[in-house]
Amino acid sequence: MADQTFEAILERMLDRVPEELDKREGSIIYDALAPAAAELAQMYVELELNTNLFFADTATGEFLERSIVWSGITRRPASPAEIQGAFYADGGGGLDIPLGSRFSLDQLNYTAAEKLSPGNYRLTCETAGTAGNRNSGALLPIDYIPQLSRGETVRLLIPGEDAEDDETLRQRYFDSARRPATSGNKAHYAEWALQIPGVGGARVFPLWNGPKTVKVTITDAEKKPASTLLVDQVQQYIDPAPGQGEGQAPVGAVVTAASVQGKTITVSAEVSLAPGYELQEVKERFQAALENYRKEKGFTATYISQSVIGALLLGTEGVADYANLLLSSGAGNVTLGAEEVPLFGAVTLEVQNGS
């Protein structure tokens, strides 16, 4: 429809008018046909836009959801973060608090959902999404709790997730269509794991410990090693009673859920800075680029390429050139095991002599 322009439509309309009549721009016939040609051109633009909303490869928003609803795949809604909080009495010892107690952490509120150990509780963020992914900070009670001296965040148990974006939903639909999950195949186990809020990725290892055994390793929503709590939720959903078929797994399949292991990779290099840039701001931008790369590619990668990291460094605003790039103190790629994901550790950048 791209060739249905105002000019093309108007020319076709004028061609239908007898040649003996005045069809020049400004004539009565031209001025009568031009508005109609403009409206038709706009109609073709709208028609193309609306046609794209009917197909999964081009649809967006609600129309993407409607175009794939037949497959049973729906957009994953936002899920709340869950953190571990520790609470202390006036004397310094752990204090048990009532379940349902509410606490504020910066601008968000959290509710005590489960006692993990004396003085330690699992708290659920009242706001769904990544905003609640905090692993430090003071927990301030919203309602009075007797003997409570202080509360603090211990760690992030299950990262919250924002509602699934269009591209992620589209890719999940295409993956399902190309590798259907059915009858307990590998794709089916991965799909079951990903149905648990907070799970960001899953790998399946059939026959890992003999016949009828399956291992499912998962990452959390941030593509990092999953907490024990999240692993247990996946285990309970897929196979709570090994081999008994009480969960999603078929009878006879003994499933073990586990977390992937994190492999910490350090990065060091010498850089030439562009005029007007400071080393610290360049380092912060590079660390952000590494983190984005880790979240996007880390789970599917079998190794971390030195050339890719070099390209990220060279593409960082403020970097004119670099030299002596090392990953984990070595000049070369870093191999990842089948159950490993990369975690970027210390980043050391030094200014080259003469920069």
8 A C-beta contact, residue 221 and residue 161: yes
Mean of the pLDDT values across residues 199-216? Answer: 95
Q: What is the CATH number of the domain that holds 220?
A: 3.30.300
Q: Which domain holds residue 278?
A: 262-351
8 A C-beta contact, residue 216 and residue 190: yes
210: closest CA among 250, 252, 239? 252
Boundary-marking domain end, from 214, 234, 259: 259
Provide the β-strand partners of residue 233.
none
320 located within any domain? yes
Beta strands in the chain (DSSP E): 80-89, 102-105, 108-117, 120-128, 140-141, 148-158, 199-206, 213-220, 254-259, 261-273, 303-304, 319-327, 334-335, 340-351
216: closest CA among 224, 206, 225? 206
Match 């939720």 to its residue by tokens. 233
Are 277 and 312 part of one and the same domain? Answer: yes
Mean of the pLDDT values across residues 220-243? Answer: 95
- pLDDT at res. 179: 80
72 located within any domain? no
| 128-166 pLDDT, tens digit each | 999 999 888 999 999 999 999 999 999 999 999 999 999
Are 15 and 33 part of one and the same domain? Answer: yes
Are 238 and 267 part of one and the same domain? Answer: no
Spatial neighbors of 283 by CB under 8 A, at least 6 apart, are: 347, 349
Give the pair of three-digit tokens for residue 209: 């410990």
Model's pTM, two decimal places? 0.79
70 located within any domain? no
1 located within any domain? no
Are 266 and 344 part of one and the same domain? Answer: yes
- pLDDT at res. 134: 87
47 located within any domain? yes
Give the pair of three-digit tokens for residue 39: 């409206």
- pLDDT at res. 2: 67
Are 313 and 270 part of one and the same domain? Answer: yes
- In the chain, the number of structural domains is 4
Boundary-marking domain end, from 239, 259, 279: 259
| 171-203 pLDDT, tens digit each | 989 988 888 877 889 999 999 999 999 999 999
Percent of the chain exceeding pLDDT 70 equals 99
Range 200-217 burial, b when 16+ CB lie within 10 A, else e: bbbbbbeeeeeeebbbbb
- pLDDT at res. 1: 64
SS (HEC) of 38-107 = HHHHHHHHHHHHHHHCCCCCCCCHHHHHHHHHHHCCCCCCCEEEEEEEEEEECCCCECCCCCCCEEEECC
Range 271-294 burial, b when 16+ CB lie within 10 A, else e: bebeeebeeeebbebbbebbeebb
